[in-house]
């Protein structure tokens, strides 16, 4: 009889930990060293703490903490105990957190110690049973409690389709939706990327991305964990620090802003990249100028890939073979990608259409939104990405735009509708339109165009200060302009294209 295989993602990682368990898994800037044994034991302790709470299967563990090795251990512990990890951007403010906690109803919330007061209030109101704290300095009630737990823990048995994580992502309209990702969604993508990007013995990942989105939590960390590779763990991206650490690293991943900022570092040159094997870019379009300047400065060609919270990675430039600037590359093995016109027919070479995807990487649906989920899939099971692109004659995909009204600023997504709703609620505001305009550092910057009520005296400065209290800081418009009226088409719809053109160069 076949023994059933445990599809728990943690089991996959554990099977690939290096034979030398005292080797380094994570090293911090302050010289802290976490061996694979440390990871095994510490994640067991946190998993045992979670298990001791007697939570029902499928319980969500919502986490809003600063980046630290312990934050990654908490993620691994959640997998190991068989619960569902729900990471939250540290920039989110009270109203945003209240929405996520209210919607996901987590059994456990873990927050930064300084936020305990307001987060606990929100969590207890939503019937969350347990609120722990975790700082980026190895303190907080989570670790205080976990330290007394046994350092061995069996990996919970999970099926391939069981949920491993929920990632909130805003859709085309309305509030954020929780994309439900299974153990197999994540495992299959990690395995495909390990092959595609030629992860190899001796690789060292320089980890500078945040841990609450697909790029830093899954693509980067999973690559190193599955390969048994060391991670140099930086608390956040800092150009000068990255330049210092590159000579000890072989793999780096970042959003385009990281590459723009690296190129602005005078010490960033061929010498500091001499040990590097791979630079990966994603989450937002990498400008051709950046791609070209990087080759000239370092001799390395950035490998650009394309992903989404709902699908993790779907397309990538090849490791061997041409990495084409301005293109996101070829569909990954096992992933089917097509470009479709308005009539639902497959587009020809160089013909622009909507990008759709099907494969083991595609999520299980939006949390408690079966209708929304159904709307985003075609009859034959393809997920409609909302991105617009074209295939060239050799099968390389280029993203040429988005059918969804989305701004990507420094790799973070901003949905205009959400900002417009907050602006429209403000005293003296009649209506508003939020757009993205080209920005040299963030790729796109958020700009709000506001019509005031007659007689209202509005101040952009005061409005920005107010917005900073209400929404995550990366969503706050870099600029607010006042106009008498918004341009509209004959149907009465605001012409954002006109606004984008008008403010693009300012
Ligand atoms: C910070 N600020 C921003 C952003 N980040 N403004 C616009 N866009 C941003 N992304 C603002 C702050 O509000 C603040 O404004 C000022 O910049 C300085 O803040 P600070 O925290 O010091 O900024 P920073 O440390 O320089 O951060 C910029 C950053 C960061 C390093 C580019 O945003 C970052 O790490 N982004 C990566 C995002 C990411 O991981 N994306 C992957 C998503 P003020 O001074 O006015 O208060 S995963 C994904 O998209 C998919 C699925 C995929 O394919 O990967
Ligand atoms: P998220 O909400 O974090 O899932 O963002 C996913 C979106 O990021 C995609 O639908 C794309 O619009 C965008 N994206 C990710 N990678 C790239 C890339 N390499 N080039 C252009 N856009 C990208």
Q: From start to end of 49-145, where are the E strands?
A: 60-64, 84-87, 108-111, 130-133
Pair of tokens at residue 338: 């097509």
pLDDT digits (tens, 9 = 90+) for 316-339: 999 999 999 999 999 999 999 999
Q: Is the pLDDT of residue 175 over 80?
A: no
Q: Is the CB of 307 under 6 A from ligand 2?
A: yes
Residue nearest to atom 13 of ligand 1 (CA): 473
443 CB near ligand 1 (under 6 Å): no
Q: Which of 114, 140, 158 is a domain's end point? A: 158
Asked whether residue 167 is assigned to any structural domain, the reply reads no
Predicted local distance difference test score (pLDDT) of residue 5: 85
CA quadruple 108, 113, 117, 119: dihedral sign: negative
Give the CB-side neighbour count of residue 25, counting CA atoms within 13 A: 30
Query: Hey, which of 217, 220, 283, 327 would you mutate to test ligand 2's pocket, going by the most ligand atoms within 8 Å of its Cβ?
Result: 283
- Model confidence over 443-455: pLDDT tens digits? 999 999 999 999 9
Q: Helix crossing, 116-125 with 94-104: angle to 10°?
A: 30
The rounded Å distance from CA 283 to ligand 2 centre is 4
pLDDT surpassing 80 at residue 174: no
Least confident stretch, 161-165, 167-171, 421-425, 495-499: 167-171
Residues 6+ apart with CB under 8 A from 113: 133, 134, 135, 139, 140
Shortest-distance atom of ligand 2 to CA 213: 3
Give this prediction's pTM. Answer: 0.96
Domain count, the chain: 2
Q: Convert 17-50 to b/e letters by CB count within 10 Å (16 or more is b).
A: bbeeeeebbbbbeeeeebbbebbbbbbbbbbbbb
Is residue 5 classed as helix, strand or coil in its secondary structure? Answer: coil
| Strand, helix or coil for residue 302 | coil
Residue 127 pLDDT more than 60? yes
Domain boundary, last residue among 130, 158, 186: 158
In this prediction, residue 209 carries a pLDDT of 98
> Could you tell which of 411, 446, 469 is best to mutate to test the pocket of ligand 1, judged by most ligand atoms within 8 Å of the CB?
411
pLDDT at 11: 98
Is 479 within the bounds of a domain? yes
**Does residue 142 fall inside a structural domain?**
yes
Q: Which of 123, 158, 193 is the last residue of a domain?
A: 158
The yes-or-no verdict on residue 1 having pLDDT over 70 is no
Taking phi first (over 0 means left), then psi (-120 to 50 degrees means alpha), and beta for anything else, what does residue 247 get? alpha
Whether 347 is in a domain gets the answer: no
Instruction: Kindly report the average pLDDT of the chain as a whole number.
Output: 96
**Average pLDDT estimate for 121-129:** 96
Q: Are 339 and 354 in contact (CB under 8 A)?
A: yes
Confidence band (pLDDT; 50, 70, 90) for 170?
confident
| Token pair of 206 as six digits | 């320089």
CATH number of the domain enclosing 464: 3.30.300.30
Strand order in the sheet with 383-391: 336-340, 353-358, 383-391, 397-402
Average pLDDT over residues 464-470: 96
- Of 4-8, 43-47, 346-350, 421-425, the poorest mean pLDDT is in 4-8
Ligand that lies nearest to the alpha carbon of residue 410, given by its number in the listed order: 1
What spacing in Å lies between the alpha carbon of 234 and ligand 1's midpoint? 15
Report if residue 67 sits inside a domain.
yes
Q: How many CB atoms lie within 10 A of CB 154?
A: 11
Residue 266 lies in a domain: no
In tens, the pLDDT along 254-310 reads 999 999 999 999 999 999 999 999 999 999 999 999 999 999 999 999 999 999 999
CATH code of 59's domain: 3.40.50.980
Residue 172: pLDDT band with limits 50, 70, 90: low
152 is a domain residue: yes
The answer to whether the CB of 207 falls within 8 A of the CB of 233 is yes
DSSP state of 25: E
On whether residue 415 sits in a domain, the answer given is yes
For residue 432, give its domain range.
Answer: 407-503
C-alpha distances in Å from residue 362, one per residue of 118, 197, 300, 388, 459: 35, 20, 31, 18, 45
Distance 314 CA to ligand 1 centre (A): 23
């Amino acid at each position: 009889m076949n023994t059933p295989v445990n599809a728990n993602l943690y089991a996959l990682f554990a099977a690939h930990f290096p034979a030398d368990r005292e080797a380094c898994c994570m090293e911090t800037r302050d010289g802290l060293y976490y061996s694979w044994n440390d990871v095994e034991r510490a994640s067991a302790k946190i998993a045992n703490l979670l298990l001791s709470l007697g939570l029902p299967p499928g319980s969500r563990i919502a986490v809003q903490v600063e980046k630290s090795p312990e934050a990654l251990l908490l993620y691994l512990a959640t997998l190991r105990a068989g619960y569902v990890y729900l990471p939250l951007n540290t920039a989110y403010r009270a109203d945003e957190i209240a929405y996520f906690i209210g919607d996901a109803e987590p059994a456990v919330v873990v927050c930064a110690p300084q936020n305990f007061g307001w987060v606990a209030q929100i969590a207890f109101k939503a019937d969350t049973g347990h609120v722990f704290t975790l700082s980026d300095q190895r303190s907080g009630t989570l670790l205080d409690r976990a330290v007394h737990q046994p350092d061995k823990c069996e990996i919970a048995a999970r099926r391939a389709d069981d949920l491993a994580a929920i990632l909130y992502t805003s859709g085309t309209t309305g509030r954020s939706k929780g994309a439900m990702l299974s153990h197999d969604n994540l495992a299959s993508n990690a395995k495909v990327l390990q092959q595609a990007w030629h992860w190899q013995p001796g690789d060292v990942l320089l980890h500078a991305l945040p841990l609450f989105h697909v790029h830093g939590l899954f693509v980067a960390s999973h690559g190193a964990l599955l390969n048994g590779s060391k991670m140099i763990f930086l608390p956040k991206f800092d150009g000068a620090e990255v330049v210092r650490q590159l000579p000890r690293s072989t793999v780096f991943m970042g959003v385009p802003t990281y590459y723009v900022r690296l190129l602005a570092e005078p010490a960033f040159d061929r010498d500091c990249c001499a040990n590097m094997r791979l630079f990966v870019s994603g989450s937002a379009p990498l400008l051709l100028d950046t791609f070209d300047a990087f080759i000239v400065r370092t001799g390395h060609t950035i490998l650009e890939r394309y992903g989404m919270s709902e699908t993790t990675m779907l397309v990538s430039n090849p490791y061997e073979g041409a990495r084409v600037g301005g293109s996101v590359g070829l569909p990954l093995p096992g992933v089917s990608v097509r470009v479709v016109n308005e009539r639902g027919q497959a587009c020809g070479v160089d013909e622009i259409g909507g990008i759709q995807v099907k494969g083991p990487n595609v999520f299980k649906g939006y949390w408690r939104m079966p209708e929304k989920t159904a709307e985003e899939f075609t009859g034959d099971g393809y997920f409609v990405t909302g991105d617009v692109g074209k295939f060239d004659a050799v099968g390389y995909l280029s993203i040429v735009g988005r059918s969804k009204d989305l701004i990507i600023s420094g790799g973070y997504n901003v949905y205009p509708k959400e900002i417009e709703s907050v602006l429209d609620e403000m005293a003296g505001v009649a209506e508003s339109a939020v757009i993205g305009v080209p920005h040299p550092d963030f790729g796109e910057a958020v700009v709000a165009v506001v019509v005031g009520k007659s007689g209202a005296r509005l101040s952009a400065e005061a409005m920005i200060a107010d917005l900073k209290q209400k929404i995550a800081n990366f969503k706050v418009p870099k600029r607010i302009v006042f106009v008498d009226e918004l341009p509209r088409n004959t149907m009465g719809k605001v012409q954002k294209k006109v606004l984008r053109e008008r403010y693009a160069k300012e």
